[in-house]
Amino acid sequence: MKCPTCGYPDSKVIDSRPTEEGSIRRRRECLGCKRRFTTYEIFDTVPVMVTKKDGSQEIFDKNKIYSGVVKSCYKRPVTKEQMDALVSDVEQEVRGRLTDGITTGEIGEMVMARLRSLDEVSYVRFASVYREFKDAQTFMHELELLRKDHHKEETE
């Protein structure tokens, strides 16, 4: 970091601490003139673009996931902490990818995989909206898949 006083091109960090705004405050000392100064570092993130079913794109918004999870978990034995953890886990997976884009389909599958192990009724509720169940037969097919998975787990 270049010294603002003498322009010397190098300095050492004396103290670092996070700020309430999410940046990092650093106290530095110039290796040339020995004067101290403060810098603030802000994380620069590339927004993740979500491609919707109709082909349009929008910036990833974890609040949309949270809204869907809350609706699917309505009056179910799922705590707010569990829902928060689920949404945070999905957000972390989305942002941890090496690409700057994702589809709503991929996000939906991530949510369903987590809901399935958390609460099956919430999972079916979410899947019914996400997969756009057209009739009772589609709904019954999904329940049958759940039942088969349970049977498989019990025999293992």
The residue extents of the domains of the chain are 11-41, 49-155
Overall pTM surpassing 0.75 (yes/no): no
Q: Encode pLDDT of 41-66 as tens digits.
A: 887 677 899 999 999 999 999 999 99
Q: Amino acid identity, residue 16?
A: S
* Amino acid found at 107: I
Q: Buried (b) or exposed (e) across 21-36, using 16+ Cβ within 10 A?
A: eeeeebebbbeeeeee
Helices 120-130 & 136-155 angle (0-180, nearest 10): 140
Q: What is the pLDDT of residue 43?
A: 72
pLDDT at residue 22 in the model: 72
Q: Which residues of the chain have pLDDT under 70?
A: 44, 151-152, 154-156
- The answer to whether residues 86 and 118 touch, using CB atoms and an 8 Å cutoff, is yes
The pLDDT value recorded for residue 88 is: 92
Give the H or E element holding residue 49: strand 49-51
Predicted pLDDT at 14: 95
Pairing relation of β-strands 101-103 and 49-51?
A: parallel
Where do we find the tokens 């799922």?
Answer: 78
